[in-house]
Amino acid sequence: MGKVASTTKTKKDTTFKPASIQEHLLFNRAVEAVIWGMPAVNFGLLCQATIQAKSAANEIVYWSRLPGWKNQTLTPNPDTIYFFPFFDTKKAGPVVIEIPPANGGSITGSIDDGWQTALEDVGPAGYDEGKGGKYLLLPPDFNDKVPDGYIVLPCSTYRGFAVLRSNLSGGSDAEVANAVEYGRQIRIYPLSAVDSRIQVKFTDVIDTLYDNTIPYDIRFFQMLSLFVQYEPWLDRDKAMIDILKTIGIEKGKAFIPDNRTQEILNAAIAEAHIWLDMQYELVFNNRYNAEYHWALPTTQELVQGMSTSFARADSYPLDARGMTYSMAYFSAKHLGQGQFYLMAIKDKNDKALDGGSTYKLNIPASPPVKLYWSAVVYDRTTHAFLREMKWFSRSSNTPGLQKNTNDSIDIYFGPEAPAGKESNWIPTNRQNQFEVLFRFYGPEEALFNKTWKLPDIEKV
Protein backbone atom coordinates (compact mmCIF):
# COMPACT_ATOMS: atom_id res chain seq x y z
CA MET A 1 0.00 0.00 0.00
CA GLY A 2 0.96 3.63 -0.25
CA LYS A 3 2.07 3.36 -3.88
CA VAL A 4 0.76 6.73 -5.01
CA ALA A 5 2.19 6.18 -8.48
CA SER A 6 -0.55 3.60 -9.01
CA THR A 7 -3.17 6.37 -9.20
CA THR A 8 -3.77 8.80 -12.03
CA LYS A 9 -3.31 11.86 -9.86
CA THR A 10 -0.91 14.44 -11.20
CA LYS A 11 1.19 16.06 -8.50
CA LYS A 12 3.60 18.93 -8.60
CA ASP A 13 7.28 18.20 -8.13
CA THR A 14 7.68 18.47 -4.37
CA THR A 15 11.48 18.56 -4.39
CA PHE A 16 12.25 21.33 -1.93
CA LYS A 17 15.68 22.55 -1.00
CA PRO A 18 15.58 24.92 1.98
CA ALA A 19 18.06 27.77 2.00
CA SER A 20 18.08 27.90 5.80
CA ILE A 21 16.84 26.13 8.88
CA GLN A 22 14.02 28.70 9.02
CA GLU A 23 12.81 27.64 5.57
CA HIS A 24 13.06 23.99 6.53
CA LEU A 25 10.93 24.67 9.62
CA LEU A 26 8.41 26.70 7.60
CA PHE A 27 8.01 23.84 5.12
CA ASN A 28 7.48 21.20 7.81
CA ARG A 29 5.06 23.34 9.78
CA ALA A 30 3.07 24.13 6.65
CA VAL A 31 2.61 20.40 6.02
CA GLU A 32 1.30 19.98 9.58
CA ALA A 33 -0.98 23.00 9.14
CA VAL A 34 -2.59 21.39 6.08
CA ILE A 35 -3.31 18.16 7.94
CA TRP A 36 -4.64 19.96 11.03
CA GLY A 37 -6.65 22.58 9.15
CA MET A 38 -8.31 20.35 6.53
CA PRO A 39 -11.85 20.22 8.06
CA ALA A 40 -11.83 23.99 8.66
CA VAL A 41 -10.78 24.78 5.09
CA ASN A 42 -13.25 22.20 3.78
CA PHE A 43 -16.01 24.03 5.69
CA GLY A 44 -14.72 27.43 4.56
CA LEU A 45 -14.98 26.32 0.94
CA LEU A 46 -18.62 25.33 1.50
CA CYS A 47 -19.24 28.81 2.93
CA GLN A 48 -17.49 30.39 -0.05
CA ALA A 49 -19.64 28.39 -2.47
CA THR A 50 -22.72 29.56 -0.57
CA ILE A 51 -21.70 33.21 -0.92
CA GLN A 52 -20.98 32.73 -4.63
CA ALA A 53 -24.50 31.29 -4.95
CA LYS A 54 -25.91 34.55 -3.53
CA SER A 55 -26.86 32.97 -0.22
CA ALA A 56 -25.64 33.84 3.28
CA ALA A 57 -25.43 32.70 6.88
CA ASN A 58 -28.71 31.84 8.63
CA GLU A 59 -30.22 30.94 5.28
CA ILE A 60 -30.70 27.62 3.48
CA VAL A 61 -29.04 26.34 0.32
CA TYR A 62 -30.84 23.44 -1.35
CA TRP A 63 -31.06 21.38 -4.55
CA SER A 64 -34.54 21.41 -6.12
CA ARG A 65 -33.86 18.22 -8.08
CA LEU A 66 -31.50 15.29 -7.67
CA PRO A 67 -28.00 16.83 -7.87
CA GLY A 68 -26.10 16.96 -11.15
CA TRP A 69 -22.36 17.21 -11.76
CA LYS A 70 -22.30 20.92 -10.81
CA ASN A 71 -22.56 19.76 -7.21
CA GLN A 72 -18.79 19.49 -6.77
CA THR A 73 -18.86 18.85 -3.05
CA LEU A 74 -16.83 15.91 -1.76
CA THR A 75 -18.53 12.50 -2.17
CA PRO A 76 -22.13 13.80 -2.09
CA ASN A 77 -25.18 11.57 -2.52
CA PRO A 78 -26.98 12.07 -5.88
CA ASP A 79 -29.99 10.03 -4.72
CA THR A 80 -31.38 12.44 -2.16
CA ILE A 81 -32.49 16.07 -1.90
CA TYR A 82 -29.98 18.13 0.07
CA PHE A 83 -30.74 21.10 2.32
CA PHE A 84 -27.82 23.01 3.88
CA PRO A 85 -28.76 25.53 6.59
CA PHE A 86 -25.64 27.58 7.44
CA PHE A 87 -25.60 29.32 10.81
CA ASP A 88 -23.53 32.16 12.24
CA THR A 89 -24.08 33.23 15.86
CA LYS A 90 -21.37 35.90 16.05
CA LYS A 91 -23.70 38.85 15.43
CA ALA A 92 -27.08 37.14 15.45
CA GLY A 93 -26.69 35.40 18.80
CA PRO A 94 -28.28 31.95 19.31
CA VAL A 95 -29.77 30.50 16.12
CA VAL A 96 -32.67 28.04 15.78
CA ILE A 97 -32.84 25.23 13.21
CA GLU A 98 -36.32 23.69 13.06
CA ILE A 99 -36.69 20.12 11.79
CA PRO A 100 -40.25 19.19 10.74
CA PRO A 101 -41.93 16.05 12.12
CA ALA A 102 -41.70 12.98 9.91
CA ASN A 103 -45.20 13.28 8.50
CA GLY A 104 -45.19 12.78 4.75
CA GLY A 105 -41.40 12.76 4.65
CA SER A 106 -38.29 12.33 6.75
CA ILE A 107 -34.90 13.93 7.27
CA THR A 108 -31.60 12.12 7.76
CA GLY A 109 -28.86 14.48 8.83
CA SER A 110 -26.63 16.11 11.40
CA ILE A 111 -25.73 19.57 12.68
CA ASP A 112 -21.97 20.27 12.74
CA ASP A 113 -19.76 23.05 14.03
CA GLY A 114 -17.13 24.84 11.93
CA TRP A 115 -14.70 21.96 12.47
CA GLN A 116 -17.40 19.65 11.10
CA THR A 117 -17.66 17.93 14.47
CA ALA A 118 -21.19 16.61 14.98
CA LEU A 119 -23.29 18.42 17.57
CA GLU A 120 -26.35 16.22 17.09
CA ASP A 121 -28.18 14.03 14.59
CA VAL A 122 -31.72 15.01 13.59
CA GLY A 123 -34.82 13.35 12.20
CA PRO A 124 -36.12 9.81 12.87
CA ALA A 125 -32.59 8.49 13.49
CA GLY A 126 -31.64 11.61 15.48
CA TYR A 127 -32.41 13.25 18.79
CA ASP A 128 -35.97 14.25 17.91
CA GLU A 129 -36.80 10.67 16.80
CA GLY A 130 -38.94 11.93 13.93
CA LYS A 131 -41.15 14.10 16.12
CA GLY A 132 -39.46 17.24 14.82
CA GLY A 133 -37.72 19.74 17.04
CA LYS A 134 -36.20 23.16 17.50
CA TYR A 135 -32.42 22.87 17.78
CA LEU A 136 -30.85 25.92 19.43
CA LEU A 137 -27.24 26.68 18.45
CA LEU A 138 -25.41 28.66 21.15
CA PRO A 139 -22.31 30.80 20.48
CA PRO A 140 -19.02 29.92 22.21
CA ASP A 141 -18.96 30.94 25.91
CA PHE A 142 -22.70 31.70 25.91
CA ASN A 143 -23.90 31.84 29.52
CA ASP A 144 -27.33 33.44 29.35
CA LYS A 145 -30.52 31.58 30.19
CA VAL A 146 -32.33 29.96 27.25
CA PRO A 147 -36.10 29.47 27.04
CA ASP A 148 -37.78 26.09 27.41
CA GLY A 149 -38.82 24.00 24.44
CA TYR A 150 -35.48 23.85 22.62
CA ILE A 151 -32.89 21.15 22.06
CA VAL A 152 -29.85 23.13 23.20
CA LEU A 153 -26.56 22.62 21.35
CA PRO A 154 -23.56 24.61 22.66
CA CYS A 155 -21.15 25.21 19.79
CA SER A 156 -17.37 25.69 19.97
CA THR A 157 -17.39 27.89 16.84
CA TYR A 158 -19.58 30.78 15.73
CA ARG A 159 -20.34 29.17 12.41
CA GLY A 160 -21.47 25.73 11.34
CA PHE A 161 -24.00 24.01 9.15
CA ALA A 162 -26.46 21.17 8.94
CA VAL A 163 -26.36 18.51 6.25
CA LEU A 164 -29.99 17.46 5.86
CA ARG A 165 -31.20 14.85 3.36
CA SER A 166 -34.88 14.85 2.53
CA ASN A 167 -35.40 11.16 1.87
CA LEU A 168 -37.16 9.88 -1.25
CA SER A 169 -39.93 7.30 -1.13
CA GLY A 170 -39.06 6.42 -4.75
CA GLY A 171 -37.35 7.79 -7.83
CA SER A 172 -40.27 9.26 -9.79
CA ASP A 173 -40.51 12.98 -10.52
CA ALA A 174 -43.51 13.23 -8.19
CA GLU A 175 -41.63 11.54 -5.33
CA VAL A 176 -38.64 13.84 -5.84
CA ALA A 177 -40.98 16.85 -5.80
CA ASN A 178 -42.55 15.59 -2.57
CA ALA A 179 -39.12 15.35 -0.93
CA VAL A 180 -38.36 18.94 -2.00
CA GLU A 181 -41.68 20.21 -0.66
CA TYR A 182 -41.16 18.40 2.64
CA GLY A 183 -37.61 19.73 3.01
CA ARG A 184 -38.80 23.28 2.52
CA GLN A 185 -40.49 22.99 5.92
CA ILE A 186 -37.01 23.29 7.49
CA ARG A 187 -36.50 26.66 9.21
CA ILE A 188 -33.48 28.66 10.40
CA TYR A 189 -33.61 32.01 12.21
CA PRO A 190 -32.02 33.87 15.14
CA LEU A 191 -33.63 33.19 18.50
CA SER A 192 -34.13 36.94 18.80
CA ALA A 193 -36.57 36.75 15.86
CA VAL A 194 -38.67 33.91 17.28
CA ASP A 195 -41.70 36.17 17.85
CA SER A 196 -41.57 37.77 14.41
CA ARG A 197 -42.89 36.47 11.12
CA ILE A 198 -39.41 35.97 9.71
CA GLN A 199 -39.23 34.72 6.12
CA VAL A 200 -36.58 32.01 5.71
CA LYS A 201 -34.58 32.43 2.51
CA PHE A 202 -34.02 29.32 0.40
CA THR A 203 -31.47 29.48 -2.43
CA ASP A 204 -31.75 26.83 -5.14
CA VAL A 205 -28.28 25.84 -6.40
CA ILE A 206 -29.34 23.04 -8.75
CA ASP A 207 -27.84 24.83 -11.77
CA THR A 208 -24.97 26.51 -9.90
CA LEU A 209 -21.39 25.25 -9.73
CA TYR A 210 -21.14 24.53 -6.00
CA ASP A 211 -17.56 23.49 -5.35
CA ASN A 212 -15.61 22.63 -2.21
CA THR A 213 -12.97 20.38 -3.77
CA ILE A 214 -9.68 21.02 -1.99
CA PRO A 215 -7.23 23.44 -3.69
CA TYR A 216 -3.71 22.14 -3.11
CA ASP A 217 -1.96 25.49 -3.47
CA ILE A 218 -1.66 28.86 -1.71
CA ARG A 219 -5.46 29.23 -1.66
CA PHE A 220 -5.64 26.58 1.04
CA PHE A 221 -3.62 28.74 3.44
CA GLN A 222 -5.66 31.82 2.53
CA MET A 223 -8.83 29.96 3.51
CA LEU A 224 -7.21 28.70 6.70
CA SER A 225 -6.23 32.24 7.67
CA LEU A 226 -9.83 33.43 7.18
CA PHE A 227 -11.05 30.69 9.52
CA VAL A 228 -8.46 31.55 12.18
CA GLN A 229 -9.42 35.24 12.02
CA TYR A 230 -13.13 34.54 12.54
CA GLU A 231 -13.29 31.64 14.99
CA PRO A 232 -12.04 31.30 18.58
CA TRP A 233 -9.06 29.17 19.46
CA LEU A 234 -10.04 25.89 21.11
CA ASP A 235 -7.96 24.73 24.08
CA ARG A 236 -7.19 21.48 22.28
CA ASP A 237 -5.60 23.41 19.39
CA LYS A 238 -3.51 26.05 21.12
CA ALA A 239 -0.33 24.19 20.26
CA MET A 240 -0.99 25.27 16.67
CA ILE A 241 -0.83 29.01 17.41
CA ASP A 242 2.95 29.31 17.06
CA ILE A 243 3.06 26.77 14.24
CA LEU A 244 0.67 28.86 12.17
CA LYS A 245 2.49 32.06 13.11
CA THR A 246 5.62 30.57 11.54
CA ILE A 247 3.88 30.34 8.17
CA GLY A 248 2.29 33.78 8.44
CA ILE A 249 -1.17 32.96 9.83
CA GLU A 250 -1.86 34.90 13.02
CA LYS A 251 -5.09 36.15 14.56
CA GLY A 252 -5.51 39.87 14.01
CA LYS A 253 -3.00 40.04 11.15
CA ALA A 254 -3.42 39.81 7.40
CA PHE A 255 -1.92 36.80 5.63
CA ILE A 256 0.41 38.32 3.02
CA PRO A 257 3.23 35.85 2.26
CA ASP A 258 6.10 37.06 0.09
CA ASN A 259 7.05 35.25 -3.11
CA ARG A 260 9.56 32.91 -1.49
CA THR A 261 7.14 31.99 1.28
CA GLN A 262 4.46 31.25 -1.30
CA GLU A 263 6.89 29.00 -3.14
CA ILE A 264 7.61 27.08 0.07
CA LEU A 265 3.93 26.83 1.01
CA ASN A 266 3.00 25.50 -2.43
CA ALA A 267 5.75 22.87 -2.16
CA ALA A 268 4.55 21.94 1.33
CA ILE A 269 0.91 21.46 0.37
CA ALA A 270 1.92 19.35 -2.62
CA GLU A 271 3.85 17.14 -0.19
CA ALA A 272 0.87 17.04 2.17
CA HIS A 273 -1.39 16.02 -0.74
CA ILE A 274 0.78 13.02 -1.53
CA TRP A 275 0.88 12.01 2.14
CA LEU A 276 -2.91 12.34 2.52
CA ASP A 277 -3.43 10.11 -0.52
CA MET A 278 -1.14 7.51 0.99
CA GLN A 279 -3.15 7.56 4.23
CA TYR A 280 -6.37 7.26 2.23
CA GLU A 281 -5.14 4.13 0.48
CA LEU A 282 -4.00 2.64 3.79
CA VAL A 283 -7.55 2.92 5.19
CA PHE A 284 -8.58 0.15 2.81
CA ASN A 285 -6.25 -2.30 4.54
CA ASN A 286 -8.87 -2.39 7.31
CA ARG A 287 -11.55 -4.17 5.32
CA TYR A 288 -15.08 -4.29 6.65
CA ASN A 289 -15.30 -7.95 5.67
CA ALA A 290 -11.90 -9.60 5.42
CA GLU A 291 -12.63 -11.35 2.12
CA TYR A 292 -13.76 -8.21 0.25
CA HIS A 293 -12.21 -4.83 -0.59
CA TRP A 294 -14.92 -2.61 0.91
CA ALA A 295 -13.98 -0.47 3.90
CA LEU A 296 -15.36 2.34 6.03
CA PRO A 297 -13.31 5.24 4.57
CA THR A 298 -12.12 6.54 7.92
CA THR A 299 -10.86 5.17 11.24
CA GLN A 300 -12.85 4.05 14.27
CA GLU A 301 -10.76 6.36 16.46
CA LEU A 302 -11.85 9.34 14.37
CA VAL A 303 -15.51 8.23 14.34
CA GLN A 304 -15.40 8.11 18.14
CA GLY A 305 -13.58 11.42 18.39
CA MET A 306 -15.90 13.31 16.05
CA SER A 307 -18.97 12.03 17.88
CA THR A 308 -17.68 13.09 21.31
CA SER A 309 -15.83 16.34 20.41
CA PHE A 310 -12.60 14.41 21.12
CA ALA A 311 -13.52 13.85 24.76
CA ARG A 312 -10.84 11.19 25.32
CA ALA A 313 -7.87 12.82 26.99
CA ASP A 314 -5.37 10.54 25.23
CA SER A 315 -6.76 10.70 21.69
CA TYR A 316 -6.75 13.41 19.02
CA PRO A 317 -6.47 11.66 15.61
CA LEU A 318 -5.44 14.63 13.47
CA ASP A 319 -3.90 12.49 10.74
CA ALA A 320 -7.11 10.51 10.24
CA ARG A 321 -9.17 13.70 10.41
CA GLY A 322 -7.05 15.41 7.79
CA MET A 323 -7.29 12.42 5.46
CA THR A 324 -11.05 12.02 5.91
CA TYR A 325 -11.86 15.68 5.22
CA SER A 326 -9.70 15.68 2.12
CA MET A 327 -12.33 13.41 0.54
CA ALA A 328 -15.60 14.05 2.43
CA TYR A 329 -17.52 16.61 4.47
CA PHE A 330 -19.78 16.52 7.58
CA SER A 331 -19.83 14.03 10.44
CA ALA A 332 -22.66 12.17 12.15
CA LYS A 333 -23.12 12.05 15.91
CA HIS A 334 -24.05 8.37 15.82
CA LEU A 335 -22.70 6.77 12.65
CA GLY A 336 -24.65 3.62 11.87
CA GLN A 337 -28.04 4.75 13.12
CA GLY A 338 -29.20 6.93 10.23
CA GLN A 339 -26.59 5.98 7.65
CA PHE A 340 -23.51 3.83 7.05
CA TYR A 341 -20.89 3.85 4.31
CA LEU A 342 -18.61 1.38 2.58
CA MET A 343 -16.13 2.44 -0.10
CA ALA A 344 -13.99 0.58 -2.64
CA ILE A 345 -11.09 1.79 -4.77
CA LYS A 346 -9.99 -1.64 -6.06
CA ASP A 347 -11.63 -4.61 -7.74
CA LYS A 348 -11.67 -8.28 -6.78
CA ASN A 349 -8.18 -8.73 -8.25
CA ASP A 350 -6.76 -5.92 -6.13
CA LYS A 351 -6.45 -3.57 -9.12
CA ALA A 352 -7.39 0.11 -9.04
CA LEU A 353 -10.79 0.83 -10.59
CA ASP A 354 -10.10 2.08 -14.12
CA GLY A 355 -12.61 4.30 -15.92
CA GLY A 356 -11.72 2.69 -19.26
CA SER A 357 -12.79 -0.80 -18.15
CA THR A 358 -16.18 -2.35 -17.39
CA TYR A 359 -17.04 -3.82 -13.97
CA LYS A 360 -19.96 -5.54 -12.28
CA LEU A 361 -21.15 -5.40 -8.68
CA ASN A 362 -23.66 -8.05 -7.60
CA ILE A 363 -25.81 -6.76 -4.72
CA PRO A 364 -27.27 -9.78 -2.89
CA ALA A 365 -30.98 -10.00 -2.19
CA SER A 366 -32.52 -8.24 0.82
CA PRO A 367 -30.03 -5.40 1.35
CA PRO A 368 -30.18 -4.46 5.06
CA VAL A 369 -31.78 -1.00 4.84
CA LYS A 370 -35.04 0.49 6.12
CA LEU A 371 -34.93 3.36 3.62
CA TYR A 372 -32.70 2.77 0.57
CA TRP A 373 -29.22 1.93 -0.68
CA SER A 374 -27.17 3.64 -3.35
CA ALA A 375 -23.92 2.96 -5.23
CA VAL A 376 -22.13 6.13 -6.37
CA VAL A 377 -19.09 6.71 -8.59
CA TYR A 378 -16.63 9.55 -7.88
CA ASP A 379 -13.53 10.82 -9.60
CA ARG A 380 -10.58 9.24 -7.76
CA THR A 381 -8.60 12.48 -8.08
CA THR A 382 -11.11 15.01 -6.76
CA HIS A 383 -13.52 12.75 -4.79
CA ALA A 384 -16.37 14.61 -6.53
CA PHE A 385 -18.87 13.74 -9.25
CA LEU A 386 -17.46 13.08 -12.71
CA ARG A 387 -17.85 16.35 -14.59
CA GLU A 388 -20.28 16.54 -17.49
CA MET A 389 -21.80 13.12 -16.72
CA LYS A 390 -25.59 12.79 -16.75
CA TRP A 391 -25.72 10.50 -13.71
CA PHE A 392 -23.33 8.96 -11.19
CA SER A 393 -25.29 6.33 -9.31
CA ARG A 394 -27.88 3.63 -9.14
CA SER A 395 -30.01 3.06 -6.06
CA SER A 396 -32.91 0.99 -4.80
CA ASN A 397 -35.06 4.02 -5.79
CA THR A 398 -33.87 4.07 -9.41
CA PRO A 399 -36.87 3.62 -11.73
CA GLY A 400 -36.60 0.57 -13.99
CA LEU A 401 -33.77 -1.10 -12.08
CA GLN A 402 -33.50 -4.72 -13.24
CA LYS A 403 -33.43 -7.58 -10.74
CA ASN A 404 -32.05 -11.06 -11.24
CA THR A 405 -34.24 -14.14 -10.72
CA ASN A 406 -32.81 -14.58 -7.20
CA ASP A 407 -33.68 -10.93 -6.36
CA SER A 408 -30.05 -9.87 -6.41
CA ILE A 409 -29.13 -6.84 -8.53
CA ASP A 410 -26.16 -6.35 -10.86
CA ILE A 411 -24.77 -2.83 -11.14
CA TYR A 412 -22.33 -2.07 -13.98
CA PHE A 413 -19.57 0.54 -14.09
CA GLY A 414 -17.83 1.50 -17.31
CA PRO A 415 -17.50 3.98 -20.19
CA GLU A 416 -20.37 2.31 -22.10
CA ALA A 417 -23.46 0.42 -20.96
CA PRO A 418 -23.49 -3.35 -21.52
CA ALA A 419 -26.22 -4.29 -23.99
CA GLY A 420 -29.65 -4.23 -22.36
CA LYS A 421 -28.26 -3.04 -19.01
CA GLU A 422 -28.59 0.75 -19.34
CA SER A 423 -30.92 0.98 -16.33
CA ASN A 424 -28.32 -0.73 -14.12
CA TRP A 425 -25.28 1.10 -15.50
CA ILE A 426 -23.18 3.95 -14.03
CA PRO A 427 -20.92 5.73 -16.56
CA THR A 428 -17.21 6.30 -15.94
CA ASN A 429 -14.58 8.52 -17.57
CA ARG A 430 -12.08 6.58 -19.70
CA GLN A 431 -9.29 8.96 -18.65
CA ASN A 432 -9.67 8.65 -14.88
CA GLN A 433 -9.62 6.10 -12.12
CA PHE A 434 -12.72 6.08 -9.96
CA GLU A 435 -13.98 5.05 -6.54
CA VAL A 436 -17.36 3.69 -5.44
CA LEU A 437 -19.21 4.62 -2.26
CA PHE A 438 -22.05 2.32 -1.20
CA ARG A 439 -24.54 3.96 1.14
CA PHE A 440 -26.96 2.29 3.54
CA TYR A 441 -29.75 4.60 4.73
CA GLY A 442 -31.59 3.19 7.71
CA PRO A 443 -29.01 0.39 8.08
CA GLU A 444 -30.19 -2.84 9.70
CA GLU A 445 -28.53 -5.41 11.93
CA ALA A 446 -27.58 -7.82 9.14
CA LEU A 447 -25.02 -5.26 7.94
CA PHE A 448 -23.37 -4.97 11.34
CA ASN A 449 -23.42 -8.63 12.36
CA LYS A 450 -22.17 -9.36 8.84
CA THR A 451 -24.75 -11.98 7.94
CA TRP A 452 -25.25 -9.87 4.78
CA LYS A 453 -22.07 -8.96 2.90
CA LEU A 454 -21.39 -6.78 -0.13
CA PRO A 455 -19.17 -8.71 -2.60
CA ASP A 456 -16.25 -7.29 -4.52
CA ILE A 457 -16.54 -5.30 -7.73
CA GLU A 458 -15.42 -7.58 -10.56
CA LYS A 459 -13.92 -6.65 -13.91
CA VAL A 460 -16.06 -7.93 -16.77
What gap in Å lies between CA 342 and CA 88, rounded to an integer?
A: 33
Q: What pLDDT score was predicted for residue 8?
A: 38
Quickly list DSSP for 369-417. EEEEEEEEEEETTTSSPPTT-S--EEETT-TT----TTS-EEEEEESSP
Select the CATH number that applies to the domain covering 54-207 from these four: 2.60.40.1610, 2.40.50.180, 3.40.630.10, 3.30.450.20.
Answer: 2.60.40.1610
- Other Cβ atoms closer than 10 A to 455: 17
Closest residue by Cα to residue 107 from 133, 136, 87: 133
336-459 has the same fold as 54-207: no
3-state secondary structure of 59: strand
What gap in Å lies between CA 16 and CA 267, rounded to an integer?
A: 7
CA atoms within 13 A on the CB side of 278: 13
**pLDDT tens-digit readout, 45-78:** 999 999 999 999 999 999 999 999 999 999 999 9
Angle CA 216–384–401, to nearest 5: 170
- What is the CATH superfamily name and number for domain 336-459? Domain of unknown function DUF1214, C-terminal domain (2.60.120.600)
- Kindly report each contact of residues 167-173 with a partner whose C-beta sits within 8 Å and lies 24 or more positions away, as own/partner: 167/80, 167/105, 167/106, 167/107, 167/108, 167/371, 167/372, 167/441, 168/79, 168/80, 168/81, 168/372, 168/397, 169/397, 170/397, 170/399, 171/79, 171/395, 171/397, 171/398, 171/399, 172/399
295 DSSP 8-state letter? B
Domain map (residue ranges) of the chain: 54-207, 336-459
In the chain, which residues have pLDDT < 70?
Answer: 1-14
Q: What pLDDT score was predicted for residue 353?
A: 98
